[in-house]
Amino acid sequence: MTEQIRSLTAEKIEQARSEGRTAFIGYLPAGYPTIEDSIEAAVQLGNNGADIIEIGLPYSDPVMDGEVIQKATAQALDNGFRVADVFHIVKEVTSRTDAAVVIMTYWNLVDRMGVDEFARRFAEAGGAGLVTPDLVPEEASEWFGASDKYGLDRIFLTAPSSPEERVKRTVESCRGFVYAVSIMGITGARSAVSDAAERVVQRAHAAGAPRVCVGLGISEPEHVTEIGSYADGAIVGTALVTALRDGGPEAVGEITRRLVSGAVTN
């Protein structure tokens, strides 16, 4: 794993580890239901126990997102959200919380703005790194250069279907942590975490990853506890977006506190 450059997400995960708990990573879409509400929701997330905040960039063809997140990002786009708005959101959130802030984005949005410009503006706003679900390391040379130039983390995904060589390449290319997809398919809260999750994490650790975090399907404190027995962090998205939809930013703070209660492992 690439670690020479300071990694904010690695520091947050290691801090959680030193405190005897699983790192908690929360996802919220940028601009949903409004830009200001998305800022307030992310601040609630960061100030109620999230170590890392993952801001999702709305995209017109979100192939990995489940229905709840698809509807939220569609509403943000309908309201006029533009990619450049995310830098204002990140700057506000990083100035009001201690959490590291990453952006999850489909690569076309970064490419369209220009990889160097996107990375520069994101770093200037206080951002920590990018989660890139549809970018593979073999096609990421421009991102390698920009992320090194601006000191940003590179977070690639590994899945149950990933062949051994791809797992190894992914681990070598990441800086911060590896994002382990616990199930095949789209995002969404589920009643139980897939048993494939542990195998995905074990394979990444075996390939040399010091930090592996699990996403997709986490909706209860018990899920966070379960994941903490073998992974370094738990990533929650749909449950938080549902809370924001139904109860506003304060509800995000409430569910974050509840979910984080499952993060103590020692």
Cβ neighbors of 79 (< 8 A, separation 6 or more) are 31, 33, 34
Cα 162 from Cα 174, distance rounded (Å): 15
Handedness of CA 171, 176, 182, 187 (dihedral sign): negative
Report the run of H or E that residue 117 belongs to, with start and end.
helix 115-124
- Concerning whether 85 is annotated as a catalytic residue, the answer is no
- Concerning whether 54 is annotated as a catalytic residue, the answer is yes
Q: Are strands 157-158 and 153-155 parallel, antiparallel or unpaired?
A: unpaired
| Residue 202 burial class via C-beta count within 10 angstroms: exposed 0-12, middle 13-18, buried 19 and up | middle
Are the CB atoms for 50 and 234 separated by under 8 Å? Answer: no
Q: Which of 54, 153, 226, 232 is catalytic?
A: 54
Q: Which of 40, 51, 65, 220 is catalytic?
A: 65
Would you put residue 176 in left (φ > 0), alpha (ψ -120 to 50) or beta?
Answer: left
Question: Got the DSSP string for 144-156?
Answer: HHHHHHHT-EEE-
Could you tell me which of 58, 74, 32 has the C-alpha nearest to residue 242? 32
Could you tell me which of 172, 148, 119 has the C-alpha nearest to residue 7? 148
Q: Which two tokens mark 155?
A: 């977070």
Active site residues: 54, 65
